[in-house]
Amino acid sequence: MARPLLLQPARIGSLALPNRVVMTTVKLGYAGKDGQATDRHLAFYVRRAQGRAGLLTTEPMYVQPNGKEIPSQLGIYDDSFLPGLERLAGAVHQAGGRIMAHINHAGRAANPKLVSPENLVSASAVPCPANKAVPRPLEKKEIQDLVEAFAAAAERAKKAGFDALEIPFSHGYLVHQFLSPHTNKRDDEYGGNFENRFRFGREILQTVRDRVGPDFPLVVRMNAEDHFQGGMTLDDALRLARRLEEAGADALSVSSGTMCETPPFCLYPIGTPKAHLLPAAAEIRKNVSIPVITAGRIRSPQVAEEALREGQTDLVGLGRAFLADPDWVRKVEEGDEEAVLLCAACHQGCLFELRKARGTSCMFNPLTGREGEIRIEKTGAPKRVLVAGGGPGGMEAALVAAWRGRQVTLFEKENRLGGQIFLAAKVPTKEEFADFVKWQALMMERAGVDVRLGVEVTADLIEELDPQAVVLATGGRPRIPGLPGLEETRWTTAYDILAGKSRVSTRTAFVVGGGTVGLEAAEFLARQGVEVTAVKRKPELAASMDPLPAAVFLERLKKEGVQILTGYAITRFQTDKEGNTTVFARPWPEREGEPERAFPAETVVIALGLEPENRLAREIGGRPGVFVVGDAREPREILDAVWEGFEAGLKV
């Protein structure tokens, strides 16, 4: 059998790589406010080096303080950063890896909470829709200062021991702001035609090359397309690629989108296309003789291998895939691709946690970002553990406990595993969540977990088996409102719709509750041709999701024609003799002079969240060694269930 192209060696300039997989830059947020590298950084990158990634790329390191995006970002604008960066590069090398420094200035995409208005700069005074800030145009002297800042940062990267350097001419950051006619309105030698707009970037590359020498690999990240009217197109990208090679770039890393206008095409949340940059990358590759790296939701080894075999790219870029599974490459080397834990692009554990100032992690891999804190090690005692519930929390608890050497039996009352994540996978665009259920089931099988389906755990069963520890992951049940007239209506729950336990055969449906599950059921029905109206009290929509995938989700709902009304509380249902139902709702909070509203409803869908299924917890409450996780403790998100299951698995 031929060795996969993924595992064949490659070169970027003078740098030899053992395989064709590059971990692209991912914002981590592990630094302090001073921007210094921390032990958390070292543990994170060392773990990916141990997983045999061909080349790691650091998170963006800002070359000037006014180019900073997040409070806890790595810096490289001063020699004081050198000791920490030397430790980082050295630790990766000791682990057998290679690491590339990514240096950047965010320009108008910088964080206005960190950068004063007078220091927020760009090519021109074009507002950034994402942060609502208006930058001021850079003066010529400041442009030269920035060229020097990039060159000095590059010099530090080389001195610190990094193996290569990457500079973004992409994503709507400062160099891209000069390149794009959308953001560059200058009338001096840095604006106007393409060559003038390219001048700033070209000067950076030339000055950097002068400082680091001819043999230090230099990679430029570039957009295949900006994905908005007036932005840069593939034709622009082809021209830029040729000029970048002429200017001395050793490789091109292809991405897309801008952080101001089109962040979904920079950060690729769930609902955005998978691996869709490959055709454009293939065109860029035809126009240059240097290697091309391509990223953009290339999540599986199969897709990556096919892209290489079809000549669409020379190397494959993976970002969040390495958050989910640091051993992505090692498993491919061992021919164990089914064991790869695939990223679902949910953003819940990575970008959402980063926004909360807790640093990047992963919903499916609670070890991400905690590599230096936790080791899952075998224990000497084969303790008997019973897990009640085969949802994501229960499976995670069973798996971690089994990895530690416990004798684990997992019971699930349904005839399938998955719990709420099984329902999530039924939602349009969230099919990838099913991969996590498959992965957990496979890992439990390999770890020796005894899985028994179709068995509901009772207090008597626990007494009979007498385990030394019990994990209750019994989930939640739909909250049904005690409102007048509900029982006389044709009604079901959002959960039963997604589970396939009920179908909506009417032309219209009325969703009571506009939380995430209610809106996901609304989309599910809308795609079946049902006209859907959803009503909720609070104004926030999809508040439990990271804002970026939430925005993509709400835009899809709009396109599907789902009508969402906020600020109303359902009060009662009324069904006439012909079976026609009317739903009544009052303004919430009550607004003087605004009357109760009436909505026709052929089918009512209840989506008011869950309440804990904790009867068993109450019945065995006095028993020692009992852990309650996930919705059984308090209905929340899949992330909470997985992470609590992980913690329980460490403790039992």
Residue 381: pLDDT band (50, 70, 90) is confident
For the chain, helix (H) and strand (E) counts, in that order, are: 21, 28
344, pLDDT greater than 70: yes
- Nearest CA to 166 among 291, 20, 338? 291
Whole-angstrom CA distances from 59 to 103, 319, 413 are: 8, 10, 44
CATH of 5-336, one of 3.20.20.70, 3.30.420.40, 3.10.450.50, 1.10.275.10: 3.20.20.70
Model confidence pLDDT, tens digit, residues 154-180: 999 999 999 999 999 999 999 999 999
Domains 5-336 and 488-608 equal at CATH topology level: no
Name the active-site residue from 77, 173, 190, 495. 173
Q: Is 430 helix (H, G, I), strand (E, B) or coil?
A: coil
553, pLDDT greater than 80: yes
Q: Which position has the higher pLDDT, 622 or 153?
A: 153
d(CA 441, CA 464): 26
229, pLDDT greater than 70: yes
Query: Minimum mean pLDDT among 10-14, 358-362, 381-385: which range?
Result: 381-385
pTM for the model stands at: 0.95
- Nearest CA to 121 among 109, 105, 104, 138? 138
pLDDT at 380: 79
Burial tier of 303 (Cβ tally within 10 Å: 0-12, 13-18, 19+)? middle
CB 218 within 8 A of CB 245: no
- The class that CATH gives domain 488-608 is alpha beta
Q: CA 351, 354, 360, 365 torsion: positive or negative?
A: negative
CB 601 within 8 A of CB 563: no
Whole-angstrom CA distances from 338 to 290, 300, 343, 440, 585 are: 33, 10, 13, 11, 50
Residue 535 CA, distance from chain mean position: 29
Residue 330, by phi and psi: left (phi above 0), alpha (psi -120 to 50) or beta? Answer: alpha
195, pLDDT greater than 70: yes
Whether residue 45 lies in the annotated active site: no
Q: Identity (one letter) of the amino acid at 298?
A: I
Query: Minimum mean pLDDT among 71-75, 379-383, 395-399, 646-650: which range?
Result: 379-383
Residue 1: pLDDT band (50, 70, 90) is low
CB 127 within 8 A of CB 133: yes
Whole-angstrom CA distances from 540 to 131, 228, 536, 551 are: 19, 27, 9, 12
Terminus-to-terminus CA distance in the chain, angstroms? 44
Q: Is 184 helix (H, G, I), strand (E, B) or coil?
A: coil
Q: How do the domains of the chain map onto residue ranges?
A: 5-336, 384-478+611-651, 488-608
User: Could you tell me which residues come within 8 angstroms of residue 157 by beta carbon, excluding any fewer than 6 positions away?
Assistant: 61, 76, 85, 101, 103, 165, 212
Structure tokens at 118: 């007078």
Model confidence pLDDT, tens digit, residues 243-261: 999 999 999 999 999 999 9
CATH of 384-478+611-651, one of 3.40.50.2000, 3.40.50.720, 3.90.550.10, 3.40.50.10490: 3.40.50.720
